[in-house]
Amino acid sequence: MLKLFKIETKKYRGLPVFRLLFVALAMSIFFSCIQIFNAKSAADLTNIGKFYQIFDAAAMFKIIVQPIILASLVSLSVQVENRHQMWKVLTSSGVDYKSIYAVKFFYIYSAYLVMQVLEWLLTLALVKWRGYTVSLPIGRLVLYGLSILGISAVIMLIHYLLSLRWANQLISLSVAVLASLVSIILIFISKAVMYVVPYSWYALLMATEPERVGDTFVYHVTAFNYFPLIASLIVALVLYQLGKRVKIGD
């Protein structure tokens, strides 16, 4: 398995995988910075609601852009083998398909994981630099992080299966674009339907909820929603096992 990982690493030379991840990182940090530097007073810097809005902004970014980024990463990964019918070459040379399937997914997911952890570290560093004195809710942040990783794994697996089944990568990318649009619409139409659309689960992690008071909005901190964390772990395991039986498309 380690040998396959080394081979996989060499395959990505010249592909824009890490450039794509860097763009995603920069865009997410930009969304977070809008909230980080939106604090206008010392009271804002001690307000837990203001702090949570930073991560709510990042969650909103993920609804809009993350599915497209993840689908693109998976498409690049699968295209490496689609060129010159490399799937047939590998399997005919005695390499087990399930091993290739596992290595490819965990390699590309690991690349995403590095970017995601870096995003969180940079966000917390900017929060500290801006002067926030609010006590960090470590427990909730950990649950939030695990949920994000779980949801992203589900989305990556959905597109991994689509990319494996159909060689035309526009199918997977089109699904990602459509799913992002639907998820944005669901935020304003039906929270109940969001529970059955994995692409919209990022929104369920948003920690603040607005309430109109006169001419302004007051934001209240809501209880953590465990559904995305639990559901993503279950769905990811099911999708991963299904992927082992996918027939590679032509």
- pLDDT the model gives residue 40: 79
* pLDDT at residue 99 tops 60: yes
* pLDDT at residue 243 tops 90: no
**Helix, strand, or coil (residue 216):** strand
Domain spans in the chain, listed from the N-terminal domain onward? 2-243
Tell me the per-residue pLDDT of 105-138, one tens digit each, with 9 for 90 and over: 988 999 999 999 999 999 999 999 998 888 889 9
The average confidence (pLDDT) of the chain is: 86
- pLDDT the model gives residue 6: 66
* Contact status, residue 130 vs residue 39, Cβ threshold 8 Å: yes
Distance CA 226, CA 148 (A): 12
Please give the DSSP secondary-structure letter assigned to residue 202.
G
Least confident of 14-18, 33-37, 202-206: 14-18
Distance CA 109, CA 150 (A): 11
* pLDDT at residue 168 tops 70: yes
Residues 139-165 have a mean pLDDT of 95
CA angle 199, 57, 76 (to 5 degrees): 45
Amino acid at 167: A
The count of residues in the chain is 250
Distance CA 45, CA 42 (A): 5
Distance CA 75, CA 93 (A): 24
* Contact status, residue 9 vs residue 107, Cβ threshold 8 Å: yes
C-alpha pair distances (Å), 29 with each of 58, 65, 163, 176, 237 = 8, 13, 29, 22, 30
For tokens 């559904």, name the residue: 227
Paired with 219 in beta bridges are 210
For tokens 């609010």, name the residue: 134
18 vs 161 pLDDT, higher one: 161
Please give the DSSP secondary-structure letter assigned to residue 85.
G
Residues 73-102 have a mean pLDDT of 73
Look at residues 223, 214, 198 and name the one whose alpha carbon lies nearest to residue 52.
223
- pLDDT the model gives residue 41: 80
Residues 88-106 have a mean pLDDT of 74
pLDDT-based confidence at 84, cuts 50/70/90?
low
Please give the DSSP secondary-structure letter assigned to residue 212.
E
Amino acid at 219: Y
* Reduced DSSP (H G I as helix, E B as strand, rest coil) percent helix, strand, coil of the chain, to 5: 75, 5, 20
